[in-house]
Chain A
């Protein structure tokens, strides 16, 4: 009887040893190193201006529009933004040269950035220009983050247009946003 009990105990311990396990060296602290670096693309701006709208301005005064641009008001976005690229493409089917200008304004309407895109005149064949990427980093990025408005300016470079002028000036653009979230 007694031996039976002792045997039981021994066997329980023998198997219990099997339950002890080993584990590789784990380091849970490295969770602190978690860094998300998503790259997000988004529409930036779009317009399509018909030639006859441009023709209303016979003095060749620039056509402009001011738009609120408030994404940088978001603190989380602003804090984690590490880089931003603008890609602009313009399709011109009007027989004039243009200069399209984007002006970034801060809350005091101070101009932070002026970016100009010379647009060649339409000559009967496809006329789409993709402009070099504008990269905002460091100081330039800090300026961008203060932007609250964008002014779009279209200037005809040449003879004024008439009500009968044909074609469109189309701008499409995107922003590529590099976030760094730790």
Chain B
């Protein structure tokens, strides 16, 4: 019990991110920008990512509390902190984590030198965790039902999903003319472990009604379901392996397979007004390896021990009755999970033409001039079990030096309304290095941040030499 509690708390503490990559989006000097919009106006002769270091991203968010709220070393009793966190959370507060690690990536231009079509490919590993704060169940565990007579503790508060998977992808994008770039990407998912419990309902109720014979009316109506894939062997007593190693192996070589697509477009309404949109991870995984679904479905009313003095021998066994009323069933059916689908869109206005022509402009073979400043608005939305998560971002991008770009963003979302992101992408020779962070205001004390995210990576990018 204690172990479960600690694991749950650590998950909560460390796992707090939405998947919005607002700083990376449309940051086209970074090849990985095409991972959030396959139709991004990214160009190169060819590039490849530094293996394992080309794209590292992590994102943690909790809409109602921070790591500091739970783990501050300030002398306050831990149980009081837990209680405060639960009290100030609502059932729609969420705890989200996403982590991605590019294993390899690369891309090249197809066709001749005049071609503006590109193929990209790669593989990355991803971990996703999404949970709503199970407020009612936490209250019941902390306080019991004594002070909540008449309240139905809602079992639908329990809603979470988690997945470890690897993604192999191939993309194509093409600048059809000076105005339009379109792109798409196909993805094969290989899911090493998945757990979903998002369609729960039911309640635990203790009430008092006048005129009833018993003191309390006590009813548990349960419709709980936990689907797992790839996890069943680890719960068996005879399992003697290394869970982390086995999950890693399954993720890359023996996962449940799925398929998805990304698509995106960039459209220049005018030379200096640009619109983009993309949809990422429109796909599914057919969970088929080591499937185990647990259900607890039924209704149980507890009436206590009730003698009738009639000499009837009616043995009562509370636990047997409970198990009979709400049996634990294990099913082994395959199931399909939908990937959390992301939608991005942006509108951007550019101004201040670069006078960089006097410097080397070998990186931009297609444009002799470029705008030094971009301002605009981005929209992000992601599917979630109850209702989508959305965010709105204002951004300013500046080309500081020919090979050094800077982006600042200000994001409003469920986690924060003062989330400032900063990003830098610089190219030295053929080496492109980028580092992006968000929520910088909270960096003066990161432990108090409700969310934090970073992406960083190293690529080798080759452009045409100016002739």
Contact = CB atoms under 8 A, between A and B. Distances in A.
Q: Do A and B come from one complex?
A: yes
Interface string A45-74: 111110001000000000111011111011
A177 B262 CA distance: 55
Contacts of B426: 8-9, 11-12
Interface stretch (B164-172, B339-347, B432-440): B432-440
A67 B316 contact: yes
B82 A43 contact: no
A63 B311 CA distance: 10
B232 interface: no
A141 to B, nearest CB: 17
B236 interface: no
Interface string B1-31: 1100110011001000000000000000000
Task: Give the one of A4, A30, A71, A87 with max B CB within 10 A.
Answer: A30
Task: Give the one of B218, B308, B433 with max A CB within 10 A.
Answer: B308
Interface string A146-161: 0000101010000000
A1 interface: yes
Interface in A82-130: 87, 89
A45 B216 contact: no
B72 A176 contact: no
Given A30-B78, A34-B82, A172-B214, A47 B404 contact: no
A40 B360 CA distance: 75
Interface stretch (B47-55, B96-104, B155-163, B443-451): B443-451
Given A12-B433, A179-B144, A33 B77 contact: yes
Given A21-B444, A28-B13, A41 B216 contact: yes
B213 A41 contact: no
Contact of A45 (B67, B305, B401, B445): B305
Contacts of A26: 67-68, 71-73, 447
Contact of B6 (A15, A31, A63, A172): A31
A28 B215 CA distance: 43
Nearest to A67: B305
Interface in B408-467: 422, 424, 426-429, 433, 435, 437, 440, 442-448, 454
Interface residues on B, range: 35 or more
Interface in B289-314: 302-311
Contact of A73 (B218, B319, B437, B442): B319
B400 interface: yes
A25 B9 CA distance: 18
B304 A46 contact: yes
A172 B213 contact: yes
A19 B443 contact: yes
A26 B6 CA distance: 15
Nearest to A57: B309
B223 to A, nearest CB: 22
Contacts of A65: 307-311
A23 interface: yes
A158 B232 CA distance: 66
The majority secondary structure among interface residues of chain B is mixed
Contacts of B5: 31, 34, 36
B435 A42 contact: no
Contacts of A11: 400-401, 404, 424, 426
A141 B454 CA distance: 55
A135 interface: no
Interface string B119-159: 00000000000000000000011111111010000000000
B315 interface: yes
Contact of A31 (B10, B303, B310, B403): B10
A27 B81 CA distance: 13
A1 B77 CA distance: 59
A25 B10 CA distance: 16
B144 A68 contact: no
Contacts of B318: 70-71
Contact of B428 (A9, A35, A38, A43): A9
A92 B241 CA distance: 65
B391 to A, nearest CB: 21
Contacts of B433: 12
A38 B309 CA distance: 34
Given A22-B445, A42-B304, A181-B2, A36 B73 contact: no
A24 B309 contact: no
Contacts of A139: none
Given A4-B359, A7-B401, A28-B71, A16 B304 contact: no
Interface of B: 1-2, 5-6, 9-10, 13, 67-68, 71-73, 77-79, 82, 140-147, 149, 206, 213-216, 218, 302-311, 315-319, 359-360, 400-404, 406, 422, 424, 426-429, 433, 435, 437, 440, 442-448, 454
